[in-house]
């Protein structure tokens, strides 16, 4: 039962990758899908690029930069959130004024806010 499920899953993954590779050929995007191969990459090209950036060392540098920026953003966000929480707990009138705005912003999915935050703050730190 477990072996059969593993075979089904591996077959599905292999079939998916094969269909992806076939559809990402030069013929597919230009004739059937009208999509530029730059935007619709093949698994082989993705894997070769992953190997290339791993061997050059840029993958580790970029990963470190991303982790640093995420950690810094988390620390700054937590500090600002705690400070704002203390301020709003002490100043009840201000809390009542800002409450509808805080609730409205909290209802927006974080992923939907990402483009706005990128425009505001930029790509790099």
Report pLDDT digits (tens) over 65-103.
999 989 998 999 999 999 999 999 999 999 999 999 999
Q: Please answer whether residues 54 and 107 qualify as being in contact, where contact means their C-beta atoms are separated by less than 8 angstroms.
A: no
Q: Contacts for 2-8 with beta carbons within 8 Å, 24 or more apart?
A: none
Question: In the chain, what are the domain boundaries?
Answer: 1-56, 57-125
Is residue 29 scored above 60 in pLDDT? no
Give 5-28 pLDDT, tens digit per residue. Answer: 999 999 999 999 888 887 777 555
Q: Please answer whether residues 34 and 12 qualify as being in contact, where contact means their C-beta atoms are separated by less than 8 angstroms.
A: no
């Amino acid at each position: 039962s477990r072996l059969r499920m593993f075979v089904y899953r591996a077959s599905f993954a292999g079939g998916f990758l094969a269909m992806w590779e076939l559809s990402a050929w030069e013929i597919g995007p230009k004739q059937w899908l009208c999509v530029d191969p730059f935007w619709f990459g093949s698994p082989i090209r993705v894997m070769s690029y992953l190997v290339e950036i791993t061997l050059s060392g840029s993958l580790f540098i970029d990963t470190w930069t991303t982790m640093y920026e995420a950690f810094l953003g988390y620390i700054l966000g937590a500090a600002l959130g705690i400070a704002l929480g203390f301020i709003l707990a002490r100043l009840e009138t201000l809390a009542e004024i800002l409450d509808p705005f805080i609730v409205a912003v909290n209802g927006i999915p974080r992923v939907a806010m990402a483009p706005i935050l990128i425009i505001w703050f930029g790509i790099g730190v």
